[in-house]
Amino acid sequence: MTGAAGSSGQPADSRPPLGTADAGYTGQHHVTRQTSIYVYEWPVRLWHWVNAAAILVLIGTGWFIGSPPPSMQIGEATHQFVFGYIRFAHFAAAMIMTVGFFGRIYWAFVGNHHAQQMFYLPLARKSWWQEIWHEMKWYAFIEKTPKKYIGHNPLAQIAMFLFMTVGLTFMIVTGFALYAEGVGQGSWLDAIFGPLRDWIGNSQVLHSLHHLGMYAILVFMMIHIYAAIREDIMSRQSMVSTMISGHRTFKDDAPE
């Protein structure tokens, strides 16, 4: 699919379906309509929020795993399992994120075409590259008029592909390779992920790469939140509410 409203076969200024706010003309007075288009199906929205929660837990616990806090206290041994609880929370969140990611891949095949957008980049389409330049100027406060997009704009699509599709794959693979070392040789996890650890060199290098990946995901999340709020305020379509209701609402009925 394509993120551009005008090039997706669904122009952003097309007439809304029955039940949405319509303007048309009332007498001689033009009334702006707010076209609403159903974009994100409930599995996509559910994955977004569950994945976000899992990543927050993974970042928090991953930080302490990389920089362990003092956990030894005077008292019973049962009260000195702080790091064990941190690791358990990290592993549990990792399993949830992994299952959710595979579910998200499945939905890219059975859901609508908007569900596919984060898994590929339309590199061969010339207009897509032109839209990237426009979006770069828009985010740099150089371009004054934003374009309309039903799905992701080109820059958002690039970010989702690099940090979610590629980034989460990297974090899952390196994470399970580290986990397999703890499970031990002879396990099915070690049989699958052990060769990666051996190819990289040692588990310390693998750990460092996994830790750096955490920082990359953290930076992406901060930019993502900023961009979503900024677009909700300044752009011509809804953003945050779209990932709650699934509907993209356009603030004007002018062409893209």
pLDDT tens digit string along 178-188? 998 888 788 88
Q: What is the mean pLDDT of residues 3-14?
A: 43
CA–CA gap between residue 148 and residue 146 (Å, rounded): 7
> Do residues 241 and 249 lie in contact, with contact meaning Cβ atoms separated by under 8 Å?
yes
Q: For the ranges 61-70, 73-82, 118-127, 155-164, which has the lowest average pLDDT?
A: 73-82
Closest CA to 128 of 17, 253, 3, 254: 3
> Do residues 50 and 96 lie in contact, with contact meaning Cβ atoms separated by under 8 Å?
yes
pLDDT at residue 131, rounded to an integer: 93
pLDDT tens for 97-106 read 999 999 999 9
Which contiguous run of DSSP H or E holds residue 133?
A: helix 126-139
Domains of the chain and any CATH numbers: 25-249 (1.20.950.20)
The tally of CA atoms less than 13 A away on the side-chain side of residue 234 is 15
Closest CA to 162 of 215, 100, 120: 120
Residue with tokens 């319509």: 22
pTM for this model (two decimals): 0.80
pLDDT tens for 189-205 read 888 988 888 888 888 89
pLDDT at residue 14, rounded to an integer: 42
